[in-house]
Structure 1
Amino acid sequence: MAERLYKEIGEKIKQEILKSDMGIGDKLPTERVYAELFGVSRTLVREAFIMLEIEELIEVKKGSGSYLKARPFDRPDRQVSDVGPFELLQARQVIESAVAACAALTVTKADLQRLQDTLDLEEAEMQNVEKANAADREFHLLVAQATQNTLLVDNVLRLWDMRDNNPMWQQLHARIPESSYHGQWLKDHEKVLMQLRKRSAEGARDAMWQHLENVKRTLFELSDTEAPDFDGYLFS
């Protein structure tokens, strides 16, 4: 299988470092510079930066930039997941919004009660990041289960397992301040549940799409490694 593009960009950045006289602790050029140099989007460069951070070649300091932690030849390459975090989020957005639309037509009273119970738990555990994250996952899986379709459930479960076991996702997710995002995402979940109660397929699809758009925007903005004038666009 062909290498993912972000890996190719990561390797090109390594070569640029090797060709330069950059030393440990020196600041790397910005994502914008690399994007223009290689003729790719900043999203792609951002994922390459995350890969280099996982490989412990660079250190990201939010609001300051990225700094060389070790030159590429000083460390062996470390394997990372073949799927970048924003690619995974895009897949979730497409699939889970369609799943929510399907669930609106088949959801039962028991499903709705389980979803409400999970939201109550998510709200109660807002300050406990680990438990709030578990409730977040459970809510999305319960929406899938409300379709009464085991294949759809399996697909959503696979996406979440990829999310939970993806080192690039974990690296990016760790940058979010403690519990700061759960309030907004809980409101998003409540909107999804409201549309499921109404049995509105279109409303449920739109609510889930917007929820994952909010997640994507939050993670993208908090992964900023450049100056404060970052414009926040997605998937340029």
Structure 2
Amino acid sequence: MAERLYREIGQKIRLEIEKSALKVGDKLPTERVYAELFGVSRTLVREAFIMLEIEDLIEVRKGSGSYLKNTLASQVSLPEISDVGPFEMLQARQVLESAIAAQAAISITKADIQQLQETLELEGAELNSVEKANSADREFHLLIAKATQNTLLVDTATRLWEMRDSNPMWNQLHARIKDSSYHGQWIDDHKDILMQLKKRSESGARQAMWQHLENVKQTLFSLSDTDAPDFDGYIFAQPNQG
């Protein structure tokens, strides 16, 4: 399997650090500088930064920048790190789960709707517990997959969530969400999805799920941006659904 691009960028950043006179505690060039240097998107550079942060080479400080935390010689090697970057994963979920929601709108039953409503209520009641809120969030999405009555789609959705939950880069990024208001926004998104499912609107359910995962993505973009606030978020901007 070819090496993921963000890993290649991470290696290039290591080489740049090695060639530079940076010392532990010094600030690294910005994401934008590396993106222009290597001719890639800032999203790839950001995923490379998250990988290097997990490996304890750099320290990311929100609104301040990224700093050299350890020397290359003392860097922790993590060969078991998932190959899938968090934004790549979100993009895949956006495509697949939107299609799943559209199919669910066609085949959903009253019992499915009742289960979704109960899970949504539980999710709202657990806002003060990140772990429980995340569990209810997962259950809501997987119940939508089950509402398709298609075991392959259920298996696909389950696999996506298993990859998310076991991905150290995702967990590193998601840990930055400490404000429960973000979860509150996503519950409102879930309400919109459920409303479209109740209406049995295929296009409405697809759009509501797409927008929900777009909101999650943009939140994580914002929370992981250490550079200027005018980050080029259009890289993964929502396309016109027509």
**TM-score class, shorter:** over 0.9
More off after superposition, 226-235 vs 206-215 = 226-235
TM-score, length-scaled by structure 1 = 0.97
CA contact (8 A) 2:123 2:133 kept: yes
In the comparison of the two structures, how many residue pairs are matched?
236
CA contact (8 A) 1:64 1:227 kept: no
CA contact (8 A) 1:41 1:235 kept: no
* Correspondence for 1:214: 215
* Correspondence for 1:199: 200
Distance 2:112 2:103 in 1: 13
Distance 1:124 1:234 in 2: 35
* Correspondence for 1:130: 131
* Correspondence for 1:18: 18
Distance 2:227 2:170 in 1: 19
CA contact (8 A) 1:17 1:71 kept: no
- Give the aligned CA root-mean-square deviation in angstroms: 1.1
- TM-superposition CA deviations, 1:18-72 (whole Å, max 9, x none): 0011000000000000000000000000000000000000000000000000122
Matches within 5 A, 1:47-66: 47-66=47-66
Distance 1:218 1:209 in 2: 14
CA contact (8 A) 1:28 1:68 kept: yes
Q: Please tell me whether residue 93 in structure 1 is matched to residue 87 in structure 2.
A: no
Q: Percent identity?
A: 74
* Correspondence for 1:84: 85
Query: Could you tell me how far 1:231 is from its partner in structure 2?
Result: 4.7
Query: Could you tell me how far 1:227 is from its partner in structure 2?
Result: 3.0
Matches within 5 A, 1:163-182: 163-182=164-183
* Correspondence for 1:105: 106
CA contact (8 A) 1:101 1:202 kept: yes
- TM-superposition CA deviations, 1:63-86 (whole Å, max 9, x none): 000000012222242121100000
Query: Could you tell me how far 1:177 is from its partner in structure 2?
Result: 1.9
Which sections of structure 1, spanning at least 5 residues, go unmatched?
none
Runs of 4 or more consecutive aligned structure 1 residues displaced over 4 Å after TM superposition: none
Distance 1:151 1:177 in 2: 34
